[in-house]
Chain A
Amino acid sequence: MKNVAFDNVTLVLPAKSEYVSTARLTASSVANRIGFNIDEVEDIKVAVSEVCNIILSKMGDEISQYKISFGINSDNLEITFTGEKMELKCLGESVENEYGLYIMEALMDTVVLCKNDYSIVMTKKIGE
């Protein structure tokens, strides 16, 4: 963890369902590198995939790419989703995918669907 603290890993993906598995693989790899245990890595992977689903189902026709940024802080992993070249809409209240929301909120410590009007941010504490 010492060597990776405050690093940032950013992934830019085409807004296509074919690449959601790429987001999952990257999420697993980063979470594993930080030292999360197997269950926590799985939680992060699942939550990341659910956010990708929301972005694709709500904005898949409007954006061509989106960005996932994994920010490694001293006490948490902060995952931020933004549009690439074009901002994401504020998706706060329009998310009707209830199962996805339940899952994200149960698996992560915080989930903000509409941060600063253009991003989705989730965090998970390190070492709990």
Chain B
Amino acid sequence: MENSEFKVLKKLVGDDTKIVLSGEIDIYTSQSFKSELNDVVNASKGDLFIDCKELTYIDSTGLGILVGALKEIRKDNNDIYICNLKDNIKKLFLITGLDKLFKIEE
């Protein structure tokens, strides 16, 4: 059984930052996600790369937090790249049109 505990791993690559998300982001874990993401965005000087290979679930609360982070990071002309989305999560990006807002990589 997959571990649903939410975790964020952070890694600096030059000016860019890479984070790896795992577990589930829902209304319960979203505050922790928001806080972690805010820290990353505030410290980041370049683009933000989010690896979702271990992310099993995200709800609209989590998607809203990602959009908030994108607004912040774009103030410095940087972007958010999202990779390794599972099909069930990619479907939510398509439904909400967020696939056009973020740089989605395979």
Measuring CB to CB, which residues of chain A are less than 8 angstroms from any residue of chain B? Answer: 17-18, 20-21, 24, 39, 42, 46, 49-50, 52-53, 56-57, 97, 99-100, 102-103, 106-107
Contacts and interface: CB of A to CB of B under 8 A. Distances in A.
Given A21-B4, A21-B24, A21-B28, A53 B60 contact: yes
Given A20-B27, A53-B60, A99-B60, 10 more contacts: A17-B26, A17-B27, A17-B28, A21-B28, A24-B26, A52-B27, A53-B61, A56-B27, A102-B95, A103-B95
A39 B87 CA distance: 10
Contacts of B64: 97, 99
Nearest to B4: A21
B41 interface: no
A56 B64 CA distance: 16
Chain A interface main SS type:
helix
A103 B26 contact: no
A18 B28 contact: yes
Contact of A20 (B28, B63, B98): B28
B26 A97 contact: no
Given A99-B64, A106-B95, A50 B28 contact: no
Contacts of B92: 46, 103
Contacts of B60: 50, 53, 97, 99-100, 103
Interface in B42-71: 57, 59-61, 63-64
Nearest to A18: B28
B66 to A, nearest CB: 10
Interface string B25-41: 01110000000000000
A8 B61 CA distance: 29
Nearest to A56: B27
A21 B26 contact: yes
